[in-house]
Amino acid sequence: MNTPVLYIVIPCYNEQEVLPVTSGMFLEKINSLIAKGRVAPESRVVFVNDGSKDNTWNIIQELANSDEHFEGVCLSRNRGHQNALLGGLMTVKDRCDITISIDCDGQDDINAMDAMVDAYWDGCEVVYGVRSKRDTDTFFKRFTAEGFYKLMNWMGAQVVFNHADYRLMSSRVLNEFANFKEVNIFLRGMVPLVGFKSTSVYYERAERIAGESHYPLKKMLALAFDGITSLSVKPIRLITGFGALISVISFVGVIWAVVEAILGSTVAGWASTTSIVCFMGGIQLLCLGVIGEYIGKIYLETKQRPRYIIEKCTWNRENSQK
């Protein structure tokens, strides 16, 4: 096997505080891998600017001018973490042999990259970075995060437990992944669908080095809902099953009401009637909301709008749409 060219792809959104700190860490790591002969000297660190409103892109350009191992990709506007990461991966897939995606906040242990590259040398096409424990998280954060992965798997979106978007993928995997054309993307659940030999590397996650998290509870819940509705129809099936159960109970209730009426033992009451009507109305609205979410995704898919638009790259590659 030839020494692979590695591109570390890092999505960035308003990261002017943390980028000057973590960029040096990424440069040191890629130089270390090059010195050990694990990756080729042509390997690069690629920052993907996701329409940042601060000085992030200027910092990326300065880094690219200061060292040949730094490169930058700028999206035309903010498209969200998943689309920014996908845009970076698809832009570099023909320039390298392997990619490692990681966030730029310094929480993921960059030393796990050594084990990822070793696993690639051993024949793995996909290597997942998995958190071994969550000691640095608060109880609420740990409870909600682990509940997120359990909910995803229970709902039919098969994801690797405690794995975010820290992973190694070969160019072969990326070329196959390029055939996935859906607009609503959830990479944590989509990458396992590609297949090929894979493994996991475990590491301890640290606290964010600087700046604020861009994934509060609200965004985490939205991400979970997007992932479930993009990868699974189980919620629709649950609604169908629940509707069938309510229908059976209602049918039994109707028979009971008819029998009571014939026997003349019915007592008029508005409280029970109101409660049932409100309960059923709430259930119906909830079900309509879930169904509407799926219909909305179908609507977006049929438009086939580009998932991202590359405005410019530091290597002067032609602007492109994907």
User: Where residue 69 sits, what CATH number does that domain have?
Assistant: 3.90.550.10
Residue 89 lies in a domain: yes
Task: Indicate if 166 and 265 belong to the same structural domain.
Answer: no
77 and 132 in a common domain: yes
The Cβ-side half-sphere exposure at 74, using a 13 Å CA radius, reads 20
Q: pLDDT of 184-235, one tens digit each?
A: 777 887 888 888 899 998 888 776 655 565 555 666 666 666 766 666 667 7
Pick from 321, 127, 145, 155: nearest CA to 236: 155
Residue among 43, 47, 44, 45 at smallest CA distance from 59: 47
Same domain, 196 and 239: no
Q: Would 226 be classed as within a structural domain?
A: no
The whole-angstrom separation of Cα 203 and Cα 185 is: 26
Q: What is the pLDDT of residues 65-81, one digit of tens each?
A: 989 999 999 999 988 88
Which spans in 265-320 are helix H?
Answer: 270-303
Same-domain pairing of 162 and 211: yes
Together in a domain, 39 and 113 = yes
Cβ-based neighbour number of residue 280 at 10 Å: 12
Residues 152 and 298 in one domain: no
What pairs with residue 109 in β-bridges?
A: none
Does residue 183 lie in a domain region?
A: yes
DSSP letter, residue 284 = H
Residue 225 domain flag? no
Question: Would you state the pLDDT for residue 105?
Answer: 83
Domain carrying residue 95: 6-215+305-321
How many domains would you assign to the chain? 2
Q: Helices 187-194 and 81-92 sit at what angle, rounded to 10 degrees?
A: 40
**Domain match, 165 and 129 both:** yes
* Residue 27, pLDDT above cutoff 90: yes
Model pLDDT, residue 317:
44
pLDDT of residue 321: 44
34 and 74 part of one domain: yes
Q: Is residue 197 part of a domain?
A: yes
Residue 185 lies in a domain: yes
**220 found inside a domain:** no
pLDDT for 208 equals 60
Region of 316 please: left (phi>0), alpha (psi -120 to 50) or beta.
Answer: left
For the full predicted model, state whether its pTM sits above 0.85. Answer: no
Angle between helices 270-303 and 217-231 (to 10 degrees): 70
Helices (H), the chain: 19-35, 56-66, 81-92, 112-121, 139-154, 171-177, 187-194, 217-231, 234-263, 270-303
pLDDT band at 159 (very low <50, low <70, confident <90, very high): confident
Place of tokens 């498209």: 79
Q: Which residues, 6 or more positions from 76, have their beta carbon under 8 angstroms from its beta carbon? A: 51, 309, 310, 311
**CA 282, CA 265: separation in Å to the nearest integer?**
30
pLDDT above 90: percentage of residues in the chain: 32
Tens digit of pLDDT for each residue in 94-112? 899 999 999 988 888 899 9
Q: Are residues 154 and 264 in the same domain?
A: no
Residues 280 and 317 in one domain: no
Same domain, 297 and 312: no
CA 163 vs. chain centroid, Å, equals: 10
User: What confidence category does residue 182 fall into, taking pLDDT thresholds of 50, 70 and 90?
Assistant: confident
What distance lies between CA 179 and its chain's CA centroid? 18
Indicate if 68 and 126 belong to the same structural domain: yes
